[in-house]
Structure 1
Amino acid sequence: MAASRRLAALEADLGVRLMHRTTRAVALTPEGEEFLTYARTMLEASEEARTLLAPATHGARGLLRVTAPAAFGRIEVMPVIPKLLHENPELRIELQMSDAIVDIVASGFDVAIRVAPLRDSELVARSIAPNPRVLCASPGYISANGKPLTLEDLGSHECLSLANMASWPFRVDEAVRNFRPKGRFVCSSVEGLRTACVDGMGITMLTYWDVREELASGALEVLPLVDALPEDLSIWAVLPTRKYVPMHVRLFLDALEKRLSKCAPLVRP
């Protein structure tokens, strides 16, 4: 086969074996693993050069694979896609909306949008918008139960929690204090928690982008505390480790960042 002949020629040229071959499988040798990093860099550089030299009228092309949290993807990512596709006829987009943190390298994603604290990794991360956490409740809940003014007050209220967030981080006198919410309802999804909060079931801590529309409409109200501030997050674009960012990724991130800049709070809500 042509691929086998080209691999054999490359190994002969380098003077090392890059792959172990059996009748059932192939695997990279240690030398092959090391060479693969440089080979990917060369391919990415070649792709970037072709993109830069292509006529501007062609726009972005190829398949863009994006993963984003479900609620954020629906509210903020989806609105930028129709215009991108309209302006770039040769572009295709695959959007995975899931709250699971996926391995973007193993899964072949070009970019991941993250609203949670980042894990340590070798991936490249770019902050694209501030993402303040907010305590909030519905007007109905506030009318029936009042507003907490301090962390101690908050402990006596019905709190609605994400299943994977056992504590709520607050900034108190330049230090982080983790508050353990107490309540009878826990949910695995942001959208479920937001619905419960709008329905008056209790107080929750979500990010500004999770409840932006509800705050604007008055369905939810921010509950500031006098002795603590919810610890802030950022919205991140996470890219595979690479020196060159393809044109279709750049265009997508520029469009998303532009949208977020129009809606972002100038100060903490």
Structure 2
Amino acid sequence: MNLDEVRVFAAAARGGSLAEAARRLGITPMIATRRLASLEQVLGVRLMHRTTRSLSLTPEGETFLPYAQSLLETEQQARTLLSGDGDGASGLLRVSAPVAFSIKLIAPLIPSLLDDHPELKISLDMSDTMPDLVASGIDLAIRIARLKDSSLIARKLGENPRSLVAAPSYLGKHGPPRIASDLIHHQCLPLHGVSHWTFLSAGAETHVRLQSRFSSTSIEGCHAACLAGAGITLLSDWNIADDLDAGRLMRIRLEDAEPETLAIWAVYPTTKLVAPKVRVFIDRLMRALGEAAKARA
């Protein structure tokens, strides 16, 4: 596959026309047209619908675009590394991460990260569901869970201790649960589709089935309802530090069990190299996680 042809396709998709792609690349419109046609012939599909006034991606073009962008970014990173110019962290980094984690930990990193790497751009997809990394063109996903998909490469960034919490108003009305089984008699606020919480008791897992009248597709919904006094929820310690310090929430410690500790993972597809832009992001995030853990200690 000719990268000059791929470059024309990506520039046309970004600029909205082959004429604009030609202008940006410093070539004639005729050369741009020929290169796009050659790329389509190599791939065996039509990538763009073209008229004299407009251009739009075909479904095949939509599918190919993230791959094209990745190819061009990888080439640029390789050139930067071989020239010895900086650490090679350049191009667009597409990151997917849970909503609360993005707000609390990732967004605050962005200003200094971009200042330190002038050629880097970041697109943050805030989502509590795991995307298809290959189809969506995501370079890196941050997830807090037990990972199951063996087709992905995952790097553990750290532990993610969690706590049961409730607002003082709720505990004032209902009192705190003393043991894990007491949660059956309380209003619990789980994520949508979660029917039980997992705890560790004497080194073994135990599962407590929840009696809940409220759930949310995002942990932010559970957090907000908990702050309002709707019940007890299970949140990551980094997410509740400010609320505990301010007295908006209170930590509940059970006598016979403690919440299962999950891990924070950096996940990326096996079909991509771990690019410099991914490495610098992970390094900066791990530093922030370490500072957050020290602050909680």
Partners of 2:170 and 2:134 lie apart in 1 by 44
CA contact (8 A) 1:133 1:231 kept: yes
Gaps of 5+ in 1: 9-17, 28-41
Deviation at 1:190, TM superposition (A): 1.1
Instruction: Give 2:220's aligned amino acid.
Output: E
Correspondence for 1:133 among 162, 172, 180: 162
Partners of 2:231 and 2:103 lie apart in 1 by 24
Gaps of 5+ in 2: 1-33, 47-57, 61-70
Deviation at 1:68, TM superposition (A): 0.7
Deviation at 1:117, TM superposition (A): 2.2
1:249 aligns with 2:244: no
Can you list the C-alpha shifts for 1:189-232, whole angstroms capped at 9, x where unaligned? 21111111111111111222332332233211211111112111
Correspondence for 1:142 among 171, 175, 184: 171
The structure, 1 or 2, with the larger RCO (C-alpha pairs under 8 Å, 6+ apart) is 1
What is the alpha-carbon root mean square deviation over aligned residues? Answer: 3.1
Partners of 1:6 and 1:103 lie apart in 2 by 26
Partners of 2:43 and 2:90 lie apart in 1 by 32
Alignment of 1:190-205 (within 5 A): 190-205=219-234
| Percent of residue pairs bearing the same amino acid type | 43
For the residue of structure 2 that corresponds to 1:215, the secondary structure is helix
Deviation at 1:58, TM superposition (A): 7.4
Correspondence for 2:90 among 37, 57, 61: 61
Partner of 2:210: 181
1:224 aligns with 2:253: yes
TM-score of the aligned structures, taking structure 2 as reference length = 0.72
Partner of 1:31: none
Deviation at 1:57, TM superposition (A): 4.5
Deviation at 1:142, TM superposition (A): 1.8
Distance 1:6 1:143, change over 3 A: closer
For the residue of structure 2 that corresponds to 1:186, the secondary structure is coil
1:78 aligns with 2:107: yes
Deviation at 1:5, TM superposition (A): 6.8
Deviation at 1:163, TM superposition (A): 0.8
CA contact (8 A) 1:48 1:244 kept: no
Partner of 2:54: none
Deviation at 1:50, TM superposition (A): 2.9
Moved more, 178-187 or 90-99: 178-187
TM-score of the aligned structures, taking structure 1 as reference length = 0.79
Distance 1:49 1:21, change over 3 A: closer
Partners of 2:194 and 2:267 lie apart in 1 by 22
Distance 1:266 1:20, change over 3 A: same
Partners of 1:46 and 1:95 lie apart in 2 by 23
Instruction: Give 1:254's aligned amino acid.
Output: D
Can you list the C-alpha shifts for 1:37-77, whole angstroms capped at 9, x where unaligned? xxxxx999866643422344476211111111111111111
CA contact (8 A) 1:130 1:264 kept: no
Partners of 2:256 and 2:117 lie apart in 1 by 50
Partners of 2:184 and 2:87 lie apart in 1 by 58
Distance 1:83 1:21, change over 3 A: closer
Alignment of 1:5-84 (within 5 A): 49-57=78-86, 60-84=89-113
Partner of 1:92: 121
Partners of 2:244 and 2:114 lie apart in 1 by 31
Partner of 1:32: none
Distance 1:235 1:123, change over 3 A: same
Answer 1 or 2: which has greater helix percent: 2
**How many pairs are equivalent?**
245
CA contact (8 A) 1:137 1:197 kept: yes
Instruction: Give 1:224's aligned amino acid.
Output: R
Correspondence for 1:163 among 176, 184, 192: 192
